[in-house]
Structure 1
Amino acid sequence: MAEPARAVALAALTDLWDQGCPIAAPDDRERLVDIGLRRWHSFHRRHPRIHQPSHEARVRDLVRGLVEAVEAEPQLVGPLAKDYECVAEAIAAAVASSTREP
């Protein structure tokens, strides 16, 4: 896994926690980042027919993966899904920032 993306994502989740996001708790932060990065990088393997996915489609997929991995009953997440979206956007931004050329 790309260490720069992981470090940026961990820092972003720390900021989210400081802003009140309950999903980015310190105890689960590393697990969320690891799951999120793995899910982000495996998108094309899981969706081989989507050749040029939109950013939104990838983030929705990431939210779904995070919810399924973390929640005991994913179908009951409800409004908490917005917090998962914030986490997913932070992970997506970390990946984007680590793949940019200097």
Structure 2
Amino acid sequence: MANPARAAALVALAKLWDQGCPIASPDDRERLVDIGFRRWDSFHRRHPRIRQPPHEARIHDLVRGLVEAVEPEPRMVGPLVKDYECVAEVIAAAASLPREP
């Protein structure tokens, strides 16, 4: 059985690519979803003192994780971070769907 959350994330990334998002490249989509879901799921383990994090904090954390995993020089991302924010939003939306282990 296909994982609906993963499928939704891949479709959303394809739409972002069609809209001109350079981060959602077909070559990197699987990796972005893997990294994004892992980062999303580990938020509370990495931030145990934040019981009810605002959505924006989780998105910011996800963006940071994606940038660190994908970019060779994360500190040099600059305005491209807006594209990472779009990717993070669609991954976060898909992460809320039921997932298989």
**Alpha carbon RMSD of aligned pairs, Å?**
1.2
Aligned sequence identity (%): 78
Q: By how many angstroms is 1:78 displaced?
A: 0.1
* Partner residue, 2:66: 66
Higher relative contact order (CA 8 A, sep 6+): 2
Residues of 2 paired with 1:31 and 1:79: CA distance?
22
User: What runs of 5+ residues in structure 2 fail to find an aligned partner?
Assistant: none
**Does 2:39 correspond to 1:36?**
no
TM-score by length of 2: 0.93
How many aligned positions are there? 97
User: What runs of 5+ residues in structure 1 fail to find an aligned partner?
Assistant: none
Runs of 4+, deviation exceeding 6 Å: none
TM-score by length of 1: 0.92
Q: By how many angstroms is 1:4 displaced?
A: 1.7
* Partner residue, 1:87: 87
Q: By how many angstroms is 1:3 displaced?
A: 2.1
Larger helix percent? 1
* Partner residue, 2:14: 14
